[in-house]
Amino acid sequence: MGTGRLIYNPAAGRFPAGWLLSRAVAVLSNAGWDIDVQEIHEGREIERVAREAIRLGCEAVFVAGGDGTVGTVAAALSGSEVALGVLPSGTANVWAKEIGLERLDWIHLFALEKAADRLARGRVHKVDMGRASGREFLLWAGIGLDAEIVNSIEPRERWAKTFGTVHYGILALWNSIGWEGVDLKVRAGEQVWEGRFLAAIASNIRKYAGGLIELSPEARFDDGMLDFWLIGGRSLKDAVTRVVQIFLGAHTEAPGVVHFQANRAIFESESKFHIHIDGEPRLVSSPVEFQTLRNSLNVLLPEPEGGIQQN
């Protein structure tokens, strides 16, 4: 195999994964990997260590953490030949779900070593990255209600992560009360959309909202396109209706919902607005340009085992 860094974020997930991580490292070592494990808490340090791995000529950087840590490492590795491998020890781990890996939890205590085994027997595949407001993302970037929720709850204490989905759902309902949407003008090529939207999302993958829903059934992370969703509405009633439509898969044809694929789009608003990029909150100024960085990241995809691999 080769040399690799393993970045472990002990703050990620519902419980610390360090006591299980050594088993995953042993699996990688037995498969021929020379792994240097580094425990890191802070985002800038995570980025620094990932970039150092590029300079040292590592073949891969493995991440034991959540989607925020995965997104930070992916952005750092983008444009290099170093591959990203994910050992899913975070709260949601949507990228892991997208490629068919189980997330570490109390039911799946051996998920990390199982992921290590499947990645060691898997393959390197080039995937796209997105870029928004100068920041690269692997999963998605969103404006509107979901961005308001992320900005209100992140960073979360570990007790809140223990109730991950329930906690997020309660806060989603709370933030929906009084929410009147965001006024946006969206341009992609010669097309222009203007209106008030509950949310406006650029997605590189199928899953969304912690992996609970399949927002973009046609999305592929290697097709050179982002899937954009402009979800119309301005009230709690509208928000509930949209959530039900998405769960039922009826949103793709619902009136007031715009879906398009593009490699570039621009969002404009009259004021600053919150955005989340791979689940990390930011406050940005208009306009925000979204674009696709085609085949800019090498990732380790696991050997198939009931999951779906995209070609």
- Please give the chain's pLDDT, 311 residues, in tens: 789 999 998 877 667 787 889 999 999 999 999 999 999 877 789 999 999 999 999 999 999 988 889 999 999 999 999 999 999 988 888 999 999 999 888 788 899 999 999 999 999 999 999 999 889 999 999 998 888 777 665 554 543 444 455 555 556 555 556 667 889 999 999 999 999 998 999 999 999 877 778 999 999 999 999 999 999 987 778 877 887 888 888 999 999 999 999 999 999 998 888 898 988 888 889 999 999 999 999 999 999 875 444 44
Q: Are residues 152 and 282 in the same domain?
A: yes
What's the one-letter identity of residue 224? Answer: G
Is 19 part of any domain? yes
Q: Which residue, chain included where needed, has tokens 């999963």? A: 139
Give residue 19's pLDDT.
82
Q: Are residues 100 and 176 in the same domain?
A: no
Give residue 244's pLDDT.
85
Q: Are residues 153 and 260 in the same domain?
A: yes
Whole domain around residue 202: which residue ranges? 135-293
**Chain-centroid distance, C-alpha 283:** 18
Count CB-CB contacts under 10 A for residue 256: 16
Is 306 part of any domain? no
Is 129 part of any domain? no
**C-alpha–C-alpha distance, residues 144 and 275, integer Å:** 7
Is 307 part of any domain? no
Indicate which CATH number applies to the domain containing 249.
2.60.200.40
**C-alpha–C-alpha distance, residues 55 and 211, integer Å:** 33
CA distances from 136 to 19, 250, 296 (A): 32, 30, 10
Q: Tally the domains of the chain.
A: 2
Is 177 part of any domain? yes
Q: Are residues 153 and 289 in the same domain?
A: yes
Is 216 part of any domain? yes
Q: Are residues 18 and 67 in the same domain?
A: yes
Is 300 part of any domain? no
Q: Are residues 167 and 257 in the same domain?
A: yes
**C-alpha–C-alpha distance, residues 193 and 232, integer Å:** 11
Q: Are residues 244 and 159 in the same domain?
A: yes
Indicate which CATH number applies to the domain containing 44.
3.40.50.10330
Q: Is residue 240 classed as helix, strand or coil in its secondary structure?
A: helix
Residue at which a domain ends, from 66, 95, 121 = 121
**C-alpha–C-alpha distance, residues 175 and 116, integer Å:** 38
Cβ–Cβ < 8 Å for 104, 164: no
Give residue 133's pLDDT.
85
Residue at which a domain ends, from 96, 121, 146 = 121
Q: Are residues 142 and 247 in the same domain?
A: yes
Q: Are residues 70 and 144 in the same domain?
A: no
Q: Are residues 157 and 23 in the same domain?
A: no
Is 127 part of any domain? no
Residue at which a domain ends, from 89, 121, 153 = 121
Count CB-CB contacts under 10 A for residue 32: 9
* Model confidence, pTM: 0.87
Q: How many residues does the chain have?
A: 311
Residue 240 CB partners (closer than 8 Å, separation 6+)? 176
Alpha helices in 121-277 (DSSP H): 145-153, 158-162, 164-176, 236-248
Q: Are residues 162 and 62 in the same domain?
A: no
Q: Are residues 46 and 181 in the same domain?
A: no
